[in-house]
Each structure stands twice: as C-alpha cells, then as structure tokens.
Amino acid sequence: MHASTAMPADEDTSTRHPVVIIGAGPVGLMAGLVLTEAGVPVEIYERNLEQMNELRSAGLQPRMLEVLDHYGIVDRFIEVGNPITAVQVYLKGTFIPSAGFDSIRTEYPFVLGCGQNTTEILLHQRLAELGVHVQRGWRYVAHATTDDAACVDVQLARVDSDEVMERRACYMLGCDGGRSSVRKAIGAQFIGKKTNEKIVACDMKVDADQLPAAW
Ligand SMILES: Cc1cc2nc3c(=O)[nH]c(=O)nc-3n(C[C@H](O)[C@H](O)[C@H](O)COP(=O)(O)OP(=O)(O)OC[C@H]3O[C@@H](n4cnc5c(N)ncnc54)[C@H](O)[C@@H]3O)c2cc1C
C-alpha cells in the first residue's frame, strides 16, 4: 500500500503555517516526505550549500525498505543499491560463522548497501517531484513561540551573506543532527552516552586481490 496525498475536505493548506524543518539529513528529508505525503505543508532549511558527499550510514535495514515501499520509492533505492544477504565477519585471521537474513519475515530480507549521500539524493528527488525544494544555505539561529503559543517564529541566517529572515511555522522540527542547535535552544537533553572508542571512517575503493582468499 502506498501513501496517499489526499487531504481531509475541511483542511485548507493555504491558511496553515508550514512545519519548518531544520536540517536536510536523512531525518529531515524523511520527515519532510512523510508530512508532505500526509498533505502537511513543509519548508526545509539546510545550512550546507552543497549536497553532502560521504558514504556515512551505508545500509538500509529491511524495515526502512518497507517504509520506502509504503511511499512508492523503494525500487529507486534497490536499483542503485547493493543487497547484502549475509554478513561475513573476519576477525584476527579467522572467519566467524554468521547468519544470513533469510529468516526475517519481510519482502526485503536483506540490508541494502546504499550510501547516505545516495539516500539523501533520492529523498531530495522525491520531495522535488512533490514540489518541496530544500532551501540550502540557511542556518537556524533562534526561535520564539508566539504569545498564544499557536505558532513559532524561526530565525534563519544565510551562511554566505548577512541576510536574515524569519519564518512563521505551526511546528518546527529540529533535524539538525547530533550537535543539534535546536535541541540546545529548547534545553532538551541528548539521551545516550559517550564512549571513549575512536573510530576511523574512510570512503575508499579496495583492490579485491588484497582481500583474504575466501572473501
Ligand atoms: C563520518 C561519519 C560516518 C558515519 N558512519 C555511519 C555508519 O557507518 N552507519 C550508521 O548507521 N551511521 C553512520 N554515521 C551516522 C549517520 O550519518 C547519522 O546517524 C545520520 O546522519 C543522522 O541523520 P540526521 O538527519 O539526524 O543528521 P545529519 O545527517 O547530521 O543531518 C543534519 C543536517 O542538519 C544540518 N544542520 C546542522 N545544523 C544546522 C543549522 N543550525 N541550521 C540548518 N541546518 C543545520 C546539517 O548540515 C545536516 O545536513 C556516520 C556519521 C559520520 C559523521
């Protein structure tokens, strides 16, 4: 079943303030898609002028694929992605026995290898088809709720000039990542814990001849 853009008859989007979304990472883009498909007007503001070009989160789980199916766009991801049906762990010179994903009850019993940059591009494309264009180069600065608490005025500043603007929203979504300015502004806690592990991430091509023989 795919999402419908149908609106209740008594709703009039022209008089409603939009939901303002801060940040066009996967969370902001997906929130934008879900709301748009539900007939809720959105405006998405992203401080980066250019599309992020790193692999980062590299796999889409079966449940995420089911959600993308619901919104009618899973085929676009499968077309460019690489279905991973099993994972082989190689530790200190030994292969560790590991299970595949066959036993998961889903239409998509695999993790789809698909870089976060590709995920973001495909979500951008779908939003554009629905008439939503991410406003790049705008940085969230601050916000204030109106006296009747019905709306929120969001202050945004250009990253490449002195231009500032204010947008009135019915809601603001802080989708601005791990160091979220919105979260800090509303005084919300970052729930979780820090570890001392150091992880090095790099995007590279590996010559297959260099991998262990059974790989
Ligand atoms: C180097 C690296 C490697 C990673 N590898 C993996 C991995 O292998 N697997 C995995 O599951 N996850 C990985 N992650 C984590 C994954 O990228 C995040 O979980 C994911 O990006 C979170 O999505 P998000 O939309 O919440 O935030 P983000 O992707 O961080 O998006 C937030 C967006 O908000 C924008 N923004 C921030 N502040 C403002 C502001 N004030 N105004 C306007 N816009 C703003 C940012 O520019 C950004 O585009 C990695 C992250 C990094 C940095």
Q: Which helix (H) or strand (E) holds 122?
A: helix 116-129
Residue of 116, 183, 191 with the most ligand 1 atoms within 8 Å of its CB, for mutation: 116
Residue of 56, 184, 202 with the most ligand 1 atoms within 8 Å of its CB, for mutation: 56
- Tens place of pLDDT per residue across the chain (215 aa): 444 444 444 455 556 899 999 999 999 999 999 999 999 999 999 999 999 998 899 899 999 999 999 999 999 999 999 999 988 787 888 888 877 888 889 999 999 999 999 999 999 999 999 999 999 999 999 999 999 999 999 999 999 999 999 999 999 999 999 999 999 999 999 888 888 988 888 888 888 777 766 55
Q: Are residues 81 and 168 in the same domain?
A: no
Q: Are residues 106 and 166 in the same domain?
A: no
Domain count along the chain? 2
Domain assignment present for residue 8? The answer is no
Domain assignment present for residue 13? The answer is no
Per the structure, the complete domain to which residue 79 belongs is given by 59-114
Q: Are residues 51 and 73 in the same domain?
A: no
Domain assignment present for residue 1? The answer is no
pLDDT, residue 4, reads 42
pLDDT, residue 9, reads 44
Q: Tokens 């609106």 identify what position?
A: 7
Domain assignment present for residue 211? The answer is yes
Distance 146 CA to ligand 1 centre (A): 30
pLDDT, residue 104, reads 87
Q: Are residues 214 and 196 in the same domain?
A: yes
Distance 15 CA to ligand 1 centre (A): 33
Domain assignment present for residue 6? The answer is no
pLDDT, residue 99, reads 75
Q: Are residues 71 and 164 in the same domain?
A: no
201 lines ligand 1 (CB under 6 A): yes
Q: Are residues 40 and 138 in the same domain?
A: yes
Pair of tokens at residue 88: 């082989």
CATH number assigned to the domain comprising residue 168: 3.50.50.60
Domain assignment present for residue 3? The answer is no
Long-range contacts of 63-72 (CB under 8 A, 24+ apart): 63/106, 65/106, 65/107, 65/108, 65/112, 66/106, 66/107, 66/108, 69/2, 69/107, 69/108, 70/1, 70/2, 70/3, 71/2, 71/3, 71/33, 71/34, 71/37, 71/126, 72/2, 72/3
